[in-house]
Structure 1
């Protein structure tokens, strides 16, 4: 029997709070889950710093990856099987891409990427194609199977239907993280009728489409996504924690580049600071390693690094003020001068942070980024772009919402005997 077709002698199941069970029947999936690269995802939180706002948000990329796999498995085995548009030979490719799609995420996910200019999708492909346990498992399917999986994740695969199941505006990735993140944060915004959406999904050559009768379930899904972004993912307190985290990493890198003598040499970060990181170095990093350094760095003699680490570890985060960069740039310049006069380094303690989201869009000729729209399958077999049929979706299509906040340490600008007037000016500008 070929490895690619081999089934486990007995189905394995993972108990899951969102999908009840995650079912594994294929040997290759079971072996991939057991690799050290996939097990590493247990040590990477799905929502980065959000646990400092929503205390239940301790779930991992491991949880989420299994969830995405399970949704794709259900679509293939329960909805698409037997339909002429679906080629069951692509089943294993789709399942592997779903399982491994987040393999390259680093500690604190997107915050970490911003500081060190990483792209987790690039790293995911590097793990799949590199000298790794994951690569060895995939090679047992066929010599070109790792490349096929990497191409699906890179969205360069010719198998566009497979790509759309994992990466599109209505894909298994989004359907899992909305429900999972809502569950662990304790909010109701991310709930939508996934069962209904799965039942009305249909395979087409280019992408998954939705039967017209399921339009209202899709509307609910899009609005759930919109609410989750603004109520959870872009929560200003979570963003404050991200700002402090980024500044810790910036400061540590700056000190390293300037030959600062750390109490504990940052061995795990050195290749990052030198911009010579190898895949082996990267895979050694997880959030437990980062927290160890943050704990130690609380005692550093560098006042800025030690202060930022104490803030992050003990959740003494920055406060924020509403800020409009288009109208208030003069105020920012004035605050920068006042911070410097007060001996507060604005590079680390006066930060503008912006969040932006586009809930739904469709391809507009001439734009740089093509967005594959959601198509409805009409009774006559015609495909219609979702916003052409839904007034709700039409109202938000192409409308990007952006929010700006100005973050600062409130405790640093409290009154004191020598600088009370100066800090009074700062507080007046921030109010």
Structure 2
């Protein structure tokens, strides 16, 4: 491509990945000079869309940033990292993917490398585009109050989540840009460009990011085979956030050998497959992820702030967004971010827009909610941890251990249960998400047994006591 590589690709400096490539839209003349097909969109257009720029105003670590002062990174930077990680995995996996497809779908067209790489990159970039203020906290305290849009591919009903909103945004708001992409970043047109007649189907992207992962036989086999990279035992998502969050909180998690894990992973007729020598790298990574949950995400003060936030969050969102599901109001949801919430919270904390009888969408909250925000913004948690129990288990937490913490007392004693799946707990699901090939060519190895040294679940249970003189905020 000669000098045109600099016309076609931007470089973004990143503390985790070094340099992240991003495609720039070319004019017709520039595309011809670079031996590329005409294009109507590039990754920079997605990045500059209102939906992606909004993620600059959604924090990656929600309340943890009040405990780890350097953790000021956003869902925007995380999305860039996941896009890059997804591209690395797609490039590495493509030769084995191509071979496996030719083995099971003989005579059928095989997708180009550019199509596979760019589809995975777009899924990585957009996997969090539906997040609301305070990210997962918004899921737990607002979105679960609404049903998810019906989907015939899913058994039964589910509650709304940010992944559902991401799927809607991808298919309704960003589909034109996604469909206009014609290449992955790189300097080799015959490798990086989509083949003539190929285009990324936005429904592939929404399928890849679905949680719980959807089952859909109508999806191309290669899309189904690569789905575990977004929702499997390890994902391009957690491979970025474990390292990024550790670096930006200043927490040392020990070695995470992502390259070894990637080098020993390939696609077989069983789908995503790990060669046995890579198991150590996988266990190392899952251990680092568990460490981050125990040391950062479940830090005692982080959880104390979350107890305060839980009392004020839903009425605050109701005040600025009103009633109704974000799934039905995507236009208004585009303006709902942490900047909007925290700006209003600062006014409430100063006694402005406070009313004993606020109405949905009027921008007002009760005096108790305003006082709650004052404590949060000044980092004065009203809850203090006074007892803690840590347990690991396979199916259900030991009741005797939890009983040591006593009972909750509304507004006075809170029992907080923070649980993480240290490894996938469902053995059958684990084995279906990632096949293990033995180094001696013997029978397939069950991943669930290989990871048995890690617990299925790790729980930190704490008893918190509200400090005297502090009352719960009314809803």
Q: TM-score when scaled to structure 2?
A: 0.71
1:120 equivalent in alignment to 2:134: no
C-alpha distance in 1, partners of 2:127/2:379?
A: 31
1:282 equivalent in alignment to 2:308: no
Q: Give the alignment partner of residue 309 of structure 1, picking from 369, 373, 376.
A: 373
What's 2:208 paired with? 152
What's 1:423 paired with? none
- Residues 413 and 463 in structure 2, CA contact (< 8 A), matched pair in contact too: yes
- Residues 348 and 370 in structure 2, CA contact (< 8 A), matched pair in contact too: yes
Task: Report Cα offsets for 1:332-387 as digits up to 9, x if no partner.
Answer: 3xx44xxxxxxxxx2xx54332211121136446xxx7774543322344532234
Q: After TM superposition, give the deviation of residue 66 of structure 1 in Å.
A: 0.8
Q: After TM superposition, give the deviation of residue 63 of structure 1 in Å.
A: 0.9
Q: From the superposition, tell whether residues 220 and 76 of structure 1 become closer, same or farther in structure 2 (CA, over 3 Å).
A: same
C-alpha distance in 2, partners of 1:352/1:407?
A: 6
Q: After TM superposition, give the deviation of residue 143 of structure 1 in Å.
A: 8.4
C-alpha distance in 2, partners of 1:372/1:8?
A: 42
Correspondence 1:325-340 to 2 at 5 A? 327=403, 331-332=407-408, 335-336=409-410
What's 2:386 paired with? 321
C-alpha distance in 2, partners of 1:401/1:305?
A: 33
Q: From the superposition, tell whether residues 224 and 120 of structure 1 become closer, same or farther in structure 2 (CA, over 3 Å).
A: same
Q: From the superposition, tell whether residues 354 and 363 of structure 1 become closer, same or farther in structure 2 (CA, over 3 Å).
A: closer
1:68 equivalent in alignment to 2:82: yes
- Gaps (5+ residues) in structure 1? 1-6, 257-265, 337-345, 414-431
Q: Give the alignment partner of residue 436 of structure 2, picking from 369, 376, 381.
A: 376
C-alpha distance in 2, partners of 1:54/1:330?
A: 30
Correspondence 1:14-413 to 2 at 5 A? 14-25=12-23, 27=25, 28-78=42-92, 80-81=94-95, 84-85=99-100, 87=111, 88=113, 89-116=115-142, 117=144, 118-130=160-172, 132=173, 134-140=174-180, 145-154=201-210, 155-156=213-214, 157=216, 158=219, 159-189=223-253, 191-252=255-316, 266=319, 268-271=320-323, 278-298=329-349, 299=351, 300=354, 302-317=366-381, 318-322=383-387, 327=403, 331-332=407-408, 335-336=409-410, 346=411, 350-361=413-424, 363-364=426-427, 372-381=432-441, 382-388=443-449, 390=450, 393-397=451-455, 399-412=456-469
- Residues 72 and 98 in structure 1, CA contact (< 8 A), matched pair in contact too: yes
- Residues 387 and 405 in structure 2, CA contact (< 8 A), matched pair in contact too: no
Q: After TM superposition, give the deviation of residue 125 of structure 1 in Å.
A: 0.6
Q: Partner of 2:274: helix, strand, or coil?
A: strand
Q: After TM superposition, give the deviation of residue 121 of structure 1 in Å.
A: 0.4
Deviates more, 1:322-331 or 1:202-211: 322-331
C-alpha distance in 1, partners of 2:228/2:130?
A: 20
Q: After TM superposition, give the deviation of residue 25 of structure 1 in Å.
A: 3.8
Q: From the superposition, tell whether residues 104 and 75 of structure 1 become closer, same or farther in structure 2 (CA, over 3 Å).
A: same
Q: Partner of 1:396: helix, strand, or coil?
A: coil
Q: After TM superposition, give the deviation of residue 73 of structure 1 in Å.
A: 1.0
C-alpha distance in 1, partners of 2:367/2:50?
A: 38
Q: Partner of 2:322: helix, strand, or coil?
A: helix
Q: Partner of 1:188: helix, strand, or coil?
A: coil
- Residues 161 and 205 in structure 1, CA contact (< 8 A), matched pair in contact too: no
Q: How many residues align structurally?
A: 374
C-alpha distance in 2, partners of 1:21/1:91?
A: 17
- Residues 384 and 465 in structure 2, CA contact (< 8 A), matched pair in contact too: yes
C-alpha distance in 2, partners of 1:387/1:364?
A: 5
Q: After TM superposition, give the deviation of residue 269 of structure 1 in Å.
A: 2.2
C-alpha distance in 1, partners of 2:270/2:205?
A: 18
C-alpha distance in 2, partners of 1:235/1:277?
A: 35
Task: Report Cα offsets for 1:296-326 as digits up to 9, x if no partner.
Answer: 1111364421220111110001212336885
Q: After TM superposition, give the deviation of residue 13 of structure 1 in Å.
A: 1.2
Q: From the superposition, tell whether residues 33 and 85 of structure 1 become closer, same or farther in structure 2 (CA, over 3 Å).
A: farther
- Residues 388 and 405 in structure 2, CA contact (< 8 A), matched pair in contact too: no
- Residues 190 and 225 in structure 1, CA contact (< 8 A), matched pair in contact too: no
Q: From the superposition, tell whether residues 19 and 56 of structure 1 become closer, same or farther in structure 2 (CA, over 3 Å).
A: same
Deviates more, 1:111-120 or 1:135-144: 135-144
Q: CA RMSD in A?
A: 3.0
C-alpha distance in 1, partners of 2:11/2:466?
A: 47
Q: After TM superposition, give the deviation of residue 51 of structure 1 in Å.
A: 0.3
Task: Report Cα offsets for 1:197-227 as digits up to 9, x if no partner.
Answer: 1222212345322222222211211111111
Q: After TM superposition, give the deviation of residue 168 of structure 1 in Å.
A: 0.7
- Residues 72 and 172 in structure 1, CA contact (< 8 A), matched pair in contact too: yes
Task: Report Cα offsets for 1:68-126 as digits up to 9, x if no partner.
Answer: 11111112224534752375343322221121111101110111112212400000011
Deviates more, 1:156-165 or 1:58-67: 156-165
Q: TM-score when scaled to structure 1?
A: 0.78
- Residues 271 and 278 in structure 1, CA contact (< 8 A), matched pair in contact too: no
- Residues 431 and 448 in structure 2, CA contact (< 8 A), matched pair in contact too: no
